[in-house]
Amino acid sequence: MDSIEYDVLVVGSGAGALTAAITAHDNGGTVLVIEKSDMYGGTSATSGGGIWIPCNHLRAEHGETDSPEAALEYLKACVGDKVSDSRLKSYVQNAPKMLKDMEDNSDVKFVSTPYADYLTEKPGSKDGWRTLDPLPISATRLGKEFLNMRPPHPQTIFGGFTITVNEAKKIITRSKGWKWIMAKLMISYRLDIPMRLKSKRHRRLCLGNALVGRCLTSVFKRDIPIWRSTSLKSLVEKNGKVTGAIVTKNGEDILITTKRGVILAAGGFEHNSDMRNANLPGPTDTNWSATPGQNTGDAHIAAQAVGANLTLMDAAWWGPSVRLPRDDRSRILFAERALPGIYIVNENGKRYLNEAASYDEVGRQLQAHPKTSWVIFDRRAREKYGIGPLYPTAVHPDSKWNSSIKAIVKKSDTIEGLASLMGVDETGLKDTVKKVAKYSETGVDEDFGSGSTSYDKYYGDPSVTPNPCLAPLLKAPFYAFPVYPGDIGTKGGVDVDINAQALNKNGRPILGLYATGNTASSVMGYTYPGAGSTIGPAMTFGYVAAKHAMGVNS
């Protein structure tokens, strides 16, 4: 078996992995990154790319303030006792350091956004500016490697071109300037003749593609090798210390020995049916996940084999999902749930949750409900908004539906007819229609409080009053499609300490082994405090792990 030595081996090529690689290199280490698939970027590349960083230095540009005390108070209120105080403190202390270091020393750049924390009723929460979005970047900076980066999720692409979160919000709600945004993007996309001859992909990278693209340009400038199509077979342990790994490349096993450590950042186990069934509460299905299919828990299994303790294995980053038969993964209903006139009902035709709450909260409530739920809306909402797999009527009329959409979307000229097609209780659905009409007039959702928080209103339609999240179901035809408890990854994994060191079942560090991202047990516990609570910790603890491995205090 061939053998090669590096200071640090990083398993995975998402944002957390690449942050770890950059940090280890910049602190004097030789680094190898391996990626199981033939494409860079992992789940990060298909995500929104946002990171939740309390006390970030960019908030000051907007005249906003934050403090470690407020951030820690908020995290404790959200997470409770599921994660140690020391680990929460480590995140609050190191997240802004990671951000500043990456912005100062790499191509990774962000902008602070007015995106409210998800649980604004909790003490220490903020109405914005803790979430950061990556700045767009041109794919020309990646050269030939661009087409080796994982494409965006299909639901983040509009007619072939990509958009930022702020642009998406304006387009979804048709706010002032949305037509100009669309026109500019369409023209720039179609006039890029050289790329159109090679690929349908847009060279203006946004969201997760922008984040991973910026990380990759930073990695390539440092000549850090990334081996694609290289999988982790097992970890090598000697006298209680991990000293490397056996990886498989081109069908051949290679021993990678490490002087400083192995950092596992290979995603979750959401596409491993056996692990889902053994750990996640039912109902559960790999088809409901919105992540790439390569996340099968390989790193979890390898870590457990050398004694690592796995915790929070029954948890996931939940989200209401819809799956078209022709798609290779689900679509998460991130924003449209907050728009007026779009509701979720159960088999009795009744609402049972606040549709405008965070997608994690809505997903968890769907997960706790054993029977199929449905998204319902009328012609007004259908004409104005993009909803799940449907673009607004002007660009995607019903007459243009393909067989995949026809297979899941129900349509009727009456509420009674819609209830029959859905297989739900007609009386219950009619009662829901009466209630939402009343609440739309008063602006108060007496059942679930939709539109009562700053987070709810963020994705609401500001042109609709008195509540931007409520509108009646009045105009035929009426529509519905099934919605499931999907996910954007599992959050259970290797138990780690404040330095991202893997812990054994006795709570002691396994020397030479680190974990971050969805391979590690989430610092957010069972909750989702704000947009970017997945990638923010992945990058932060990738940074912390690399510095600790290289013997540098963070």
All domains of the chain, ordered by start, with CATH?
Answer: 1-315+491-554 (3.50.50.60), 325-486 (3.90.700.10)
- DSSP classification of residue 286: G
Mean pLDDT over 378-396 rounds to 92
pLDDT band for 160, please (50, 70, 90 cuts): low
The per-residue pLDDT for 71 is 98
DSSP 163: -
d(CA 445, CA 211): 38
Strands 252-264 and 2-11, by their bridges, are parallel
This prediction's pTM: 0.94
- Mean predicted confidence (pLDDT) in 379-383: 97
| pLDDT recorded at residue 159 | 58
From the list 489, 535, 458, the residue with the least C-alpha distance to 132 is 535
Phi and psi at residue 298, in whole multiples of 5°?
Answer: -55, -45
- Span 328-339, mean pLDDT? 94
Phi/psi at 43 (nearest 5 deg)? Answer: -65, -30
CB-side exposure of 163: number of CA atoms within 13 Å?
23
At 499, is the secondary structure helix, strand, or coil?
coil
Q: How far apart are CA 339 and CA 390, in angstroms?
A: 14
Interatomic CA distance for residues 98 and 102, integer angstroms:
6
- Report the alpha-carbon distance of residue 117 to residue 432 in Å, rounded: 29
Work out the average pLDDT over 187-199: 71
Measured from the Cβ of residue 67, the count of other Cβ atoms closer than 10 Å reads 12
